[in-house]
Structure 1
Amino acid sequence: MPLTATDAFRSEVKRARPTEVVVMLYNEAILSLTAAIKAMQQNDIEERCNRVNVVTEIVGTLHMSLDMEKGGEIAEQLGQLYRFVLAQLIRINIHSDAEGAAKIIDLLKPLRDAWQEVDQRMAEGADEASMEATILRRLEAAGFRLDVHAA
């Protein structure tokens, strides 16, 4: 059975800040990949496919929402990462690769955490430069090497 957003979730998204929606998307992607791993362990092919497809839609949405003009190098780097994840999701689904799915979760968690901190700062009224510096700091602390320097 395909997964769809509930009315309550849609309502929550409509009221949320854009950065809060990004955090929600990352959370759902992580939960869906975790469920996909469980489905792989139980040899539930339909559930695995449905869950990986949800993650594919989420990462595709994140990729398409990047503002390449305003986002500059960070958007470019995130775009490369999202394209990598999308390619891995195809392989994970075809080969029922639980280990590969776990590695993608490990990639998504620090991204989610960085956006969570950005969302908190945005709620407090932080400026764009501060938010950019926050995301870079969190990603670098998680081992990501972005060729970007915050202003």
Structure 2
Amino acid sequence: MSHLSLKKYQQTTLSNAGEASPYQLVALLFQKLLDNIATAKGAITQKDYAKKGMQISNAIAIVGVLEGSLDHEKGGEISGNLSALYNFCSEKLFEANANNDIELLNKVAQIIIPIKSGWDAIPLEEQGKVSF
């Protein structure tokens, strides 16, 4: 992706976020998390460790936002399980950053992808009822 295209994508994403519903914001967070992981893997391969560190730091921050948005009162066991998964992912992201470990990044992505798929599968008429 060219530099100009990347800037346009980022601007579109930011402007869309201002108009997004809470459901859509979480969907954007999941996608950005996976994008950060993919970019970090590429940065490790290219030995661009500053970029890798920035991408993994952003990924950790997103996982923190996702974990912080859970409503443990309404979510019960599901939110508890998600919290444990998010904490595990944060730990693995820290390890991947310290060790330049692509396999740990893959492990985190393999955990997040099914969660994102489940989120994306929530029917439109139910999206407004989703609580965090």
TM range (shorter): 0.7 to 0.9
Q: CA deviation at 1:106?
A: 1.1
In structure 2, the residue matched to 1:27 is 31
Structure 2: state its 5+ residue gaps: 1-9
Q: CA deviation at 1:9?
A: 2.9
Does structure 2 retain, via aligned residues, the 8 Å contact 1:20–1:116? no
Distance 1:39 1:117, change over 3 A: same
Question: TM-score, normalising length from structure 2?
Answer: 0.84
| CA distances 1:67-98 after superposition (whole Å, capped 9, x unpaired) | 11111111111000000001111100000001
Distance (whole Å) between structure 1 residues aligned to residue 34 and residue 76 of structure 2 = 26
In structure 2, the residue matched to 1:44 is 48
Find the partner of 2:65 among 61, 66, 81: 61
Say if 2:90 is the partner of 1:90.
no
Q: CA deviation at 1:41?
A: 0.6
Find the partner of 2:83 among 79, 86, 97: 79
Q: CA RMSD in A?
A: 2.2
Q: CA deviation at 1:10?
A: 3.3
Q: CA deviation at 1:14?
A: 2.6
Does structure 1 retain, via aligned residues, the 8 Å contact 2:23–2:128? no
Considering fraction of residues, name the structure with more helix: 2
Distance (whole Å) between structure 2 residues aligned to residue 127 and residue 95 of structure 1 = 41
Distance (whole Å) between structure 1 residues aligned to residue 97 and residue 49 of structure 2 = 9
Of residues 16-25 and 97-106 in structure 1, the stretch that sits farther from structure 2 once superposed is 16-25
Q: CA deviation at 1:8?
A: 3.9
Amino-acid identity (%): 28
Distance (whole Å) between structure 2 residues aligned to residue 46 and residue 55 of structure 1 = 14
Distance (whole Å) between structure 2 residues aligned to residue 97 and residue 52 of structure 1 = 11
Distance (whole Å) between structure 1 residues aligned to residue 117 and residue 126 of structure 2 = 19
Q: CA deviation at 1:124?
A: 2.6
Structure 1: state its 5+ residue gaps: 1-5, 132-151
Q: Which runs of 4+ in 1 moved over 6 A?
A: none
Question: TM-score, normalising length from structure 1?
Answer: 0.74
